[in-house]
Amino acid sequence: MSIPNWLTQDYIEEVLKLYHHDVTVRITNFDIKAAFGKGENYGGVMTRIKVSYDRLNSTMKEEKNLLVKNSYEDDEFAKEKMKPYDIFNREMSIYDQVLPKLNQLMAEIGDKDQLFANALYTDYKRQALIFEDLSQQGFVMANRIERLDVEHVQLILRKLAKMHATSAVLNEREKGCLEKYDRGFFNKYTDTYKTFFVNNFLSCARYLQRQPNSKYYADKIFAMEPYYMDIGLRCFTPTKGHVNVLAHGDVWTNNVMFKYDPETKKPIDVILIDFQYSFWGSPALDLHHFFNTSLKEPLRRNHQDALFQYYHHWFTETLGKLKYSSSPIPSLKTFHQHVEQKRFFALHSGVVIQPVMLNQDPTDADYQALMDVDEKAMNFKARLYNNNPIIQENLKFLLPYFDHKGLLEVDQ
């Protein structure tokens, strides 16, 4: 990934002056590099910067490791496709206006869990966010190909449940302030991602056509094509009478960072990052997406009910402590029923999205390959299913499971 032309030493120096409220900041060393390689990230341009600097009233040289996230400003194709989702302005406003208030609610009940990274600077003009690089605090990403075991998953579920619960309370206290975030992956304003979602789904069907005893599933997928986006939209519509939340929108291995015990190597903390696709809706959607993109097997296959229960405990406990009252706090049984109502997103996440996340072939692995329908893009989509044994093995379990749930029907 290329480094933006405007992201210079002078620019970062001005950011640090604003951050410290000190015009005497002078950078003495500046090191900059792309944060991700091809196929590792599709949500924008990520750049790592290491700076050393002096301040007039400080006797010690200071250092910061920064992570800069900005839009695809030089990619007209990506800009046009992303425009209807407004993901960069949304994430900036969430970091500016929402997450600090969720932190305040956590403090109100004496909960010291840190849920999010703090943004040092928000640049609306360039659609950029600047953070302290969490890797310098010992946080690292887990391996997206290996996926996560139960210890990692429970850490995420605890933090996610608290984020969800505090957002429901914030929306209650500030009279619907979060309901404007209504542009998730499926929304009423646009179906621009149809070329990504539906063509991946059809690429799966074409792969299945060539496999023994799989034509039944291929035919069902082909039949779903005209209905797919409408089913997704209904799934994303907030359900009246249930606790709706500000969902993260894209919870998976690369959108969280873990800290590990240096001796046991066990995960001891996690931070949620990347709120581009956050939306107002069901908390179950985050869980379906997370479980079907990022869990090890057989954890995904055999233990989801226990994980839903674990999440439910933290979610309802936090709602209760904050005296949420807009709708009934769900019993575990009611919550499981709601989970079933939203399970289409499990199908979507497992069959359409996970193949992208577990792709190990960097050939043409860019945003245009996801979103376009030219020969290069369609070949990329085909390789997601034809060339990945992990996905092929997963489909043997997932397709019968989703079929038994009625999720391959056009009239669901």
Q: Which residues contact 409 (CB under 8 A, 6 or more apart)?
A: 220
Tracing tokens 């590990």 back to the chain, one arrives at 260
* pLDDT tens-digit series, residues 261-272: 999 999 999 999
* pLDDT tens-digit series, residues 37-70: 655 555 578 899 999 999 998 888 999 999 999 8
pLDDT of residue 59: 81
Tracing tokens 């390789």 back to the chain, one arrives at 383
* pLDDT tens-digit series, residues 128-163: 999 989 988 999 999 999 999 999 999 999 999 999
Q: What is the residue-averaged pLDDT of the chain?
A: 94
Q: Which residues contact 40 (CB under 8 A, 6 or more apart)?
A: 254
pTM over 0.85: yes
Whether a cis peptide bond, with omega within 30° of 0, leads into 298 is yes
Task: Give the whole-number percent of the chain exceeding pLDDT 70.
Answer: 97
pLDDT over 90 at 208, yes or no: yes
Q: Characterise 184 by phi-psi region: left (phi > 0), alpha (psi -120 to 50), beta (else).
A: beta
Please, are residues 41 and 57 in contact by the beta-carbon 8 Å criterion?
Answer: no
Cα 331 off chain centre by: 27
pLDDT over 90 at 90, yes or no: yes
**Structure tokens of 52?**
């050393």
H or E segment and range at residue 45: strand 45-54
